[in-house]
Amino acid sequence: MNVAAMQRLIAELRQSGISDENVLAAIGAVDRERFVAAPFAERAWENTALPISFGQTISQPLVVAAMTEALRVGPRMKVLEIGTGSGYQAAVLAKLARRVYSIERFKPLSKEAERLLINLGIYNVVCDVGDGSKGWPGQAPFDRIIVTAAAEERPQALIDQLGVGGILIVPVGRDPTTQVVERIVKSESGLQRDTLMPVRFVPLVSGPLPVLGQG
């Protein structure tokens, strides 16, 4: 890993307001170079989103850091991620949680991420292929759920799969120019919601997959 570049990014994240040392350590421990397509390897430690396969993107490190910080993950927790993509966010979560379940609708992305995580010695991530907007009922309830694609509406199935005391982090918005990350906290007395920051995510897509190669 390019340690100097990694440390520059960590310093930048700190300056941007990320203060959770566990989150910063997790980001510093995952070699982002391994998760981006080869031509972008030298830009892997820039604070920018980069392309991966199928027209998808690996999120900007500051967004990963802020959403992970807002998720308040503890070492005994069971976390669900929607949108495995490159597997980068899952790898960061794996450093903080007991177990991570991650769903991706593109099978090749899921398989590639699964292989990469094993190669990196990360064994507490379980990947599955499917429509993550429906969650993972067989493994519910979850302590934490993070969606890394933009939902048009607050996904009720995911709220239902949160345990009491659970936190859901989800970008919401139909239009990429008005997306915001929302945090939903479930307690005995109901749901509490607050808005974290504006973002630009690829859409959370439900329903059948496009024909391979056109997507």
Q: Residue 183: name the closest of 144, 139, 140, 152 by CA.
A: 144
The residue annotated as part of the active site, out of 19, 53, 59, 86, is 59
The verdict on whether 133 is a catalytic residue reads no
CA nearest neighbour of 196 among 65, 95, 37, 3: 65
In angstroms, the CA 167 to CA 152 distance is 19
CB of 164 to ligand SAH, least distance (A): 25
Q: How far is CA 27 from the centre of its chain?
A: 12
CB 72 within 8 A of CB 113: no
Residue 62 engages ligand SAH in binding (rule: CB under 6 A) = no
Nearest CB to ligand SAH, comparing residues 101 and 162: 101
Measured N-to-C along each axis, helices 21-29 and 3-15 cross at an angle, to the nearest 10 degrees, of 150
Distances in Å between the Cα of 119 and the Cα atoms of 105, 116, 142 are 22, 5, 26
* Torsion sign over Cα 111, 113, 119, 124: negative
Residues 162-181 that bind ligand SAH (CB under 6 A): none
Residue 195 has φ and ψ, to the nearest 5°, of -105, 130
For residue 176, cis peptide bond before it (omega within 30 degrees of 0): no
- Nearest approach in angstroms of CB 204 to ligand SAH is 4
CB 61 to ligand SAH: min, Å: 10
Of the listed pieces 37-45, 50-58, 114-122, 188-196, which binds ligand SAH according to CB under 6 A? Answer: 50-58
Using the contact rule CB under 6 A, the part of the chain among 37-45, 102-110, 175-183, 185-193 near ligand SAH is: 102-110
Q: Classify the phi-psi angles of 130: left when phi > 0, otherwise alpha if psi is within -120 to 50, otherwise beta.
A: left
Q: Is residue 161 involved in binding ligand SAH (CB under 6 A)? A: no
> What does the per-residue mask of binding to ligand SAH show for 63-82, with x meaning CB under 6 A?
-------------------x
**Among positions 44, 63, 67, 89, the unique one binding ligand SAH when judged by CB under 6 A:** 89
Binder of ligand SAH out of 23, 50, 58, 169 (CB under 6 A): 58
Which one, 58 or 145, has the nearer CB to ligand SAH?
Answer: 58
**Binding positions for ligand SAH, rule: CB under 6 A:** 56-59, 82-83, 85-86, 88-89, 103-106, 109, 131-133, 148-149, 202, 204-206
Q: Report, as residue numbers or ranges, the catalytic residues.
A: 59
